């Protein structure tokens, strides 16, 4: 029986391989047209064959075709069809045909050859290619000198640098698929080399979704094994609805959340505190709302996301597992734009105001939960998932037993963004960003029958404020800079209050935990293009951090207080880094990096060497459809960590702390090797990796509530795995298959007899199979999520001395001889969504329905044990051992609507 998984996997692989091979076969066409209108002929082909056409109505106006052929392959059929019409064609991925006028300017850009020993260029141009309507940058646009081999493509910010031995009388061609291309004489451009080029949409007789697919997809391979996400291309998430950045990242292999949350990501065996999350350069410590259910980023303001699952460049540091670099809305508009949206839990909106046309813009965005109680079905479902096994869920059972009990948990959350962007002199770009997010839980439990009164109250308040200044400029065609400064302030306060008898008294006993983390960053980054084959980046970073943890309790009756812990750590870290990229041959790219970290006040020094390579055995293609082998090796140091201690509440926000003289920094060595193949409609990516981490703290372990983790900082972990990603897109249908195989072993000398044991987030197998279908104004999406179970520990019941017992000298307790020796059963979840989109002249938007866990399957997330013993004044002769299960949310529908103008 266990072999059925292998059989299913075999058939899935067989299906995908055959599907991909089938797409590489050119269709054969037959036709019999005699003086037929061009539009009629095209409609015939699209109806009867797996092809789709794109063309400018003006280019084909009045064109009629006469062609008779049978079983012609696609190129021959197009040649016969367009003969004598003055039109030409371009075939993309054997099914998309672009029809263009037959003239010099419509010719495709010639390939860009590489010359090993090319001379220093005589002339140089640079600029930014933008959308003329939205002023948004166009990544991947082309800029080339007509009838020469000199050309390039724009970066993610729309900027390009072009240099070569062309002349002043040559022409610069600027183009982007789906937009009208422009031609400019080079001579006047040399006066002001770095200009903005605004392209207008070329209205084509083709659905909007196809134009978007031609231009770029939701995800592209980035440098050093990373991925680049374009939020505008992110589909509606099955089961979730509106875009959610961190949940979207979980569609990638190697990125998941062991507790099924939206923001507490485990990246290739790492823990959530090992992820560096940046928003416009601001380090974010509070990444999720509703205790991690949602990410803390307004979907309207997110523009682009770059994510590295490890082996990131020397520019980034301070975390060991991953980097998630989020950029809020960029560019400059000509008129005010905005948007509003809502789901069953929150409202959000934004407005983007051009204070000075094409030069200064102000973005303001707000989001706020509007249901703070248990009125919503979605709220109830996810509330139960989060709070199971804690005292909130256990005390809820008492509500039905007594009419005198008050049980009232309320959660609220919100975030706000403000971003001012302005252009400086020449090529300078500036931005000033502000960000604030907050979450609050107020839980009151009381019994009052008019004769006896008692109440408890639990309050959690978590917030993160941040601000940043960003400046970039092109100092020369071969040298640019990016400077930034950022401030982040995180606060996490927990308060427990107990009172009885006197209703007017504020409390009898109060216990508080106050945690704060402050950080100031200064980043000075420089890029230098030494030659066509040599690039260098280098810079300096200053990081000043302060972490504080305070535990205190107060008794209002005895008028006593106790400050049990007051730890404050301050650090100042100076980092110098450099990275050298070298095109060793036409097919091999090498990257060497180094980060040197210095704590002057402690005399500590940490070095981080890094190495990466990309080998293109079949050469590099101008359209980016390449096959490559890739790999990386690096050392990483981390100076912050989280403490997980939620007590009997069962939920909360982790505490952030800093390494100091007594707590060592965490060290990680990571290696990876893989291959990738990418085309305009397909992506295949595979990697194997190994990570060795040391100086881990036991305070970060997720173990059973009754287990004593101790206070250790000598732990180690080893994570090994394999990640597989396949994405294929047809005309209106796309599919995405992501599979991860991994193992995480942890070892502490003081735990488990010094033997290694599986980490709590050790999920051996995980698979996401996402399918989307576009039909007219509708978009349907489904995701099948499969994963193996997480480990847990089975306790034994032992006797222990009981000094406080009055009727006995001993009682019973739980003992864990071995950790995480058992596993929960695997889980299966099917998420669905249906979205209706509209696009009018003045506004566009979407409305839809999403269903999380459509089949309402009972999936286990965690298992714990509760030992019940008699009261201390009773004989300790019996006990009751309860098994507590934490279930994932059942079938949960959600309605959402978003509109922009």
Query: What's the whole-number mean pLDDT along residues 674-692?
Result: 90
Residue (of 30, 101, 29) closest to 63 by Cα position: 101
According to the model, what pLDDT value does residue 170 have?
Answer: 78
Higher pLDDT, 218 or 763: 763
The whole-number average pLDDT for the span 92-120 is 51
Evaluate if residue 215 carries a pLDDT over 80.
Answer: no
pLDDT of residue 262: 85
Mean pLDDT of 828-836: 93
Q: What is the mean pLDDT of the chain?
A: 83
Average pLDDT in the 256-265 region?
88
Rounded Cα–Cα distance for residues 705 and 884 (Å): 11
Q: Is 266 exposed, middle or buried (0-12, 13-18, 19+ CB in 10 A)?
A: buried
Which range of 118-132, 139-153, 298-312 scores highest in mean pLDDT? It is: 298-312
The pLDDT of residue 10 is 45
Report whether 511 contacts 563 (CB < 8 A). no
- Give 260's pLDDT tier (boundaries 50, 70, 90): confident
Q: Which stretch of 34-38, 229-233, 421-425, 464-468 has the lowest confidence by average pLDDT? A: 229-233
Please answer whether residues 895 and 848 qualify as being in contact, where contact means their C-beta atoms are separated by less than 8 angstroms.
yes
Pick the range with the lowest mean pLDDT from 66-70, 513-517, 744-748.
Answer: 66-70
Q: What is the pLDDT of residue 245?
A: 86
- At residue 616 the predicted structure's pLDDT band, cuts being 50, 70 and 90, is very high
Average pLDDT of the segment spanning 696-703? 78
- Range 58-84 average pLDDT: 85
pLDDT value at 5 more than 60: no
Closest to 155 (Cα-Cα) out of 141, 144, 165: 141
Query: Which of 20-34, 53-67, 174-188, 500-514 has maximum average pLDDT?
Result: 500-514
Q: What is the mean pLDDT of residues 672-700?
A: 90
Q: Are the C-beta atoms of residues 112 and 132 closer than 8 Å to each other?
A: no
**From CA 222, how far away is CA 3, in angstroms rounded?**
37
- Asked which of 149-153, 327-331, 703-707, 826-830 is least confident by mean pLDDT, the reply is 703-707
The Cα–Cα gap between 703 and 701 comes to 6
Confidence check: pLDDT of 669 > 70: yes
- Nearest CA to 557 among 513, 511, 507? 507
Number of Cβ within 10 Å of residue 688's Cβ equals 14
Give all strands (DSSP E) within 585-678, no chain letters.
588-599, 604-615, 627-638, 640-643, 655-658, 666-678
pLDDT for 732 = 79
- pLDDT of 117 over the 60 cut: no
Which of 121, 105, 103 is CA-nearest to residue 173? Answer: 105
pLDDT of residue 663: 87
**pLDDT number for residue 384:** 73
pLDDT of residue 823: 94
pLDDT of 188 over the 90 cut: no
Query: Which is higher by pLDDT, 88 or 716?
Result: 716
Indicate whether 487 pLDDT > 80: yes
Q: Name the band, by pLDDT with cuts 50, 70 and 90, for residue 17.
A: very low
Residue 665 has pLDDT above 90, yes or no: yes
Q: Is residue 447 classed exposed, middle or buried when 0-12, 13-18 and 19+ CB atoms within 10 A define those classes? A: middle
Measured from the Cβ of residue 653, the count of other Cβ atoms closer than 10 Å reads 25
DSSP for 545-579 reads EEEEEEEEEEETTTTEEEEEEEEEEEEEEEEEEEE
| Cβ pair 349, 338 in contact under 8 A | yes
Could you tell me whether strands 560-583 and 534-555 are parallel, antiparallel, or unpaired per DSSP bridges? antiparallel
Residue range 55-77: mean pLDDT, rounded:
82
Q: Are 432 and 469 in contact (CB under 8 A)?
A: yes
The pLDDT > 90 percentage for the chain reads: 40
pLDDT at residue 278, rounded to an integer: 96
DSSP output for 297-351: S-TTTEEEEEEESS---TT--B-SSEEEEEEE--S--SS-EEEEEE-SSEEEEEE
Name every residue whose Cβ is closer than 8 Å to that of residue 409 and which is 6 or more positions away in sequence.
Answer: 374, 383, 387, 392, 441, 442, 443
CA distance 68 to 88: 18
- pLDDT for 768 equals 95
CA distances from 4 to 8, 9, 202, 738 (A): 6, 9, 51, 20
Measured in whole angstroms, the distance separating CA 214 from the mean position of its chain's CA atoms is 23
Per the listing, tokens 């084509």 go with 204
Instruction: Report residue 784 as tokens.
Output: 């099948």
Q: What long-range pairs does 832-835 form, CB within 8 A, spacing at least 24?
A: 832/238, 832/239, 832/780, 832/781, 832/782, 833/236, 833/237, 833/238, 833/239, 833/240, 833/241, 833/780, 833/781, 833/782, 834/778, 834/779, 834/780, 834/781, 835/236, 835/241, 835/778, 835/779, 835/780, 835/781
What pLDDT, on the 0 to 100 scale, is given for residue 205?
Answer: 31
DSSP type of residue 26 = P
| Whether the predicted pLDDT of 699 surpasses 90 | no
CA pair distance 443, 411, nearest whole angstrom? 9
Q: What is the pLDDT of residues 369-420, one digit of tens each?
A: 886 554 566 667 777 777 766 777 777 777 766 778 888 888 889 999 999 9
Instruction: Output b/e per residue, 222-232; b: 16+ Cβ within 10 A.
Output: ebbbbbbbbbe
- Helix H or strand E encompassing 866: strand 860-868
pLDDT digits (tens, 9 = 90+) for 533-587: 999 999 999 999 999 999 999 888 787 788 777 788 999 999 999 999 999 998 9
Residue 534's CB is within 10 A of a number of other CB atoms, namely: 12
Look at residue 114 in the predicted model and tell me its pLDDT: 40
**% of the chain residues with pLDDT over 70:** 86
- From residue 291, alpha-carbon distances to 20, 72, 264, 383 in Å are 41, 60, 9, 10
Radius of gyration of the CA atoms of the chain, in A: 30
Highest mean pLDDT among 58-62, 154-158, 399-403, 594-598: 594-598
3-state secondary structure of 391: helix
Report helix, strand or coil for 16.
Answer: helix
Judge residue 130's burial from the number of C-beta atoms within 10 Å of its C-beta, 0-12 exposed, 13-18 middle, 19 or more buried.
buried
**pLDDT over threshold 80, residue 113:** no
Least confident of 187-196, 290-299, 587-596: 187-196
774-805: per-residue pLDDT in tens?
A: 888 888 999 999 999 999 999 999 999 999 89
Length of the chain measured in residues? 901
User: Is residue 119 over pLDDT 70?
Assistant: no
Band of residue 688 on the pLDDT scale cut at 50, 70, 90: very high
Predicted confidence at residue 419, as pLDDT, reads 96
Reported as a pLDDT band with limits 50, 70 and 90, residue 513 is: very high
For 703, what's the count of Cα atoms within 13 Å in the CB-facing half-sphere? 25
Which of the 8 DSSP states describes residue 210?
H
Q: Are 657 and 645 in contact (CB under 8 A)?
A: no
In this predicted structure, the answer to whether residue 486 has a pLDDT above a threshold of 70 is yes
Q: Is the pLDDT of residue 18 over 50?
A: no
Alpha-carbon distance 137 to 5, whole Å? 46
């Amino acid at each position: 029986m266990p072999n059925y998984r292998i059989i299913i996997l075999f058939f899935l692989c067989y299906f995908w391989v055959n599907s991909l091979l089938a797409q590489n076969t050119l269709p054969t066409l037959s036709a019999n047209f005699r003086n037929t209108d061009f539009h009629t002929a095209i409609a015939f082909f699209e109806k009867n064959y797996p092809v789709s056409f794109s063309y400018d109505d003006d280019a084909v106006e009045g064109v009629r075709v006469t062609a008779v052929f049978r079983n012609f392959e696609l190129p021959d059929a197009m040649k016969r069809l367009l003969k004598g019409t003055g039109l030409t064609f371009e075939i993309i991925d054997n099914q998309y045909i672009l029809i263009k006028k037959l003239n010099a300017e419509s010719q495709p850009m010639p390939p860009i050859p590489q010359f090993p020993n090319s001379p220093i260029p005589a002339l140089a141009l640079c600029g930014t290619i933008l959308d003329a309507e939205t002023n948004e940058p166009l990544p991947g646009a082309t800029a080339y000198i007509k009838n020469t081999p000199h050309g390039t493509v724009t970066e993610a910010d729309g900027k390009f640098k072009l240099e070569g031995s062309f002349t002043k009388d040559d022409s610069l061609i600027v183009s982007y698929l789906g937009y009208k291309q422009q031609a400019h004489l080079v001579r006047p451009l040399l006066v002001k080399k770095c200009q903005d080029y605004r392209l207008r949409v070329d209205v084509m007789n083709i659905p909007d979704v196809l134009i978007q697919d031609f231009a770029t997809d939701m995800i592209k391979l980035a440098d050093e094994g990373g991925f680049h996400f374009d939020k505008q291309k992110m589909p509606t998430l099955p089961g979730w609805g509106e875009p959610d950045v961190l949940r979207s990242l979980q569609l990638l292999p190697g990125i998941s959340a062991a507790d099924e949350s939206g923001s507490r990501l485990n990246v290739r065996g790492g823990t959530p505190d090992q992820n560096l999350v940046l928003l416009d350069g601001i380090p974010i410590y509070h990444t999720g709302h509703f205790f991690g259910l949602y990410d803390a980023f307004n979907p309207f303001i997110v523009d682009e996301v770059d994510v590295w699952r490890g082996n990131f460049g020397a520019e980034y540091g301070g975390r060991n597992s991953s980097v998630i670099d989020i950029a809020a809305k960029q560019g400059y508009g000509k008129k005010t734009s905005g948007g509003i949206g809502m789901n069953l839990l929150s409202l959000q909106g934004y407005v983007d105001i051009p204070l000075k046309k094409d030069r200064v813009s102000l973005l303001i965005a707000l989001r706020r939960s509007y249901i703070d109680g248990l009125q919503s079905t979605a709220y109830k479902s996810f509330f139960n998932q989060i709070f199971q096994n804690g005292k909130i869920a256990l005390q809820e059972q008492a509500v039905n037993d007594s009419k005198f009990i008050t049980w009232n948990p309320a959660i609220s959350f919100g975030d706000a963004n403000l971003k001012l962007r302005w252009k400086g002199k020449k090529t300078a770009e500036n931005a000033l960003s502000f960000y604030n997010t907050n979450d609050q839980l107020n839980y009151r439990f009381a019994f009052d029958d008019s004769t006896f009164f008692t109440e408890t109250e639990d309050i959690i308040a978590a917030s993160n404020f941040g601000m940043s200044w960003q400046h970039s400029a092109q100092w020369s065609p071969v040298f640019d800079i990016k400077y930034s400064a950022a401030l982040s302030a995180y606060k996490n306060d927990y308060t427990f209050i107990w009172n009885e008898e006197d209703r007017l008294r504020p409390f009898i006993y109060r216990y508080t935990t106050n945690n704060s983390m402050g950080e100031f960053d200064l980043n000075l980054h420089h890029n230098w293009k030494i030659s066509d084959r040599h690039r260098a980046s280098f810079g300096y970073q200053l990081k000043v951090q302060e972490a504080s943890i305070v535990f205190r309790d107060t008794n209002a009756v005895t008028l006593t207080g106790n400050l049990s812990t007051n730890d404050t750590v301050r650090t100042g870290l100076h980092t110098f880094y450099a990275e050298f990229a070298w095109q060793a041959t036409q097919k091999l790219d090498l990257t060497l990096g180094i980060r040197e970290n210095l704590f002057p006040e402690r005399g500590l020094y940490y070095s981080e060497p890094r190495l990466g390579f990309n080998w293109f055995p079949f050469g590099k293609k101008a359209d980016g459809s390449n096959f490559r082998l890739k790999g990386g090796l690096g050392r990483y140091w981390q100076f912050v960590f989280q403490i997980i201690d939620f007590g009997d509440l069962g939920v909360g926000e982790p505490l952030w702390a800093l390494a100091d003289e007594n707590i060592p920094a965490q060290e990680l060595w990571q290696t990876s090797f893989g291959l990738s193949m990418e085309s305009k409609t397909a992506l295949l990516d595979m990697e194997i990796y190994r990570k060795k981490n040391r100086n881990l703290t036991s305070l970060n372990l997720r173990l059973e509530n009754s287990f004593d983790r101790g206070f250790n900082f000598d732990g180690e972990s080893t994570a090994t795995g394999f990640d597989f990603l396949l994405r294929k897109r047809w005309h209106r249908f796309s599919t995405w298959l992501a599979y991860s195989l991994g193992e995480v072993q942890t070892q502490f000398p003081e735990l488990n007899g010094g033997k290694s044991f599986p980490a709590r987030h050790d999920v051996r197998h995980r698979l996401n199979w996402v399918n989307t279908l576009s039909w007219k104004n509708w978009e349907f999406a489904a995701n099948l999520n499969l994963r193996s179970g997480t480990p847990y520990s089975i306790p034994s019941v032992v006797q222990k001395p009981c000094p406080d017992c009055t009727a006995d000298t001993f009682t019973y307790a739980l003992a864990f001889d071995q950790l995480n020796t058992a596993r929960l059963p695997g889980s299966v979840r099917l998420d669905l969504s249906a979205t209706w989109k509209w696009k009018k002249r003045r506004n566009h938007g979407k409305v839809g329905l999403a269903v999380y866990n459509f089949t309402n399957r009972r999936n286990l997330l965690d298992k714990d044990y509760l030992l019940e013993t008699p009261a201390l004044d009773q004989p300790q002769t019996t006990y009751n051992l309860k098994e507590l299960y934490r279930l994932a949310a059942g079938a949960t529908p959600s309605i959402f609507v978003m509109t922009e103008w």
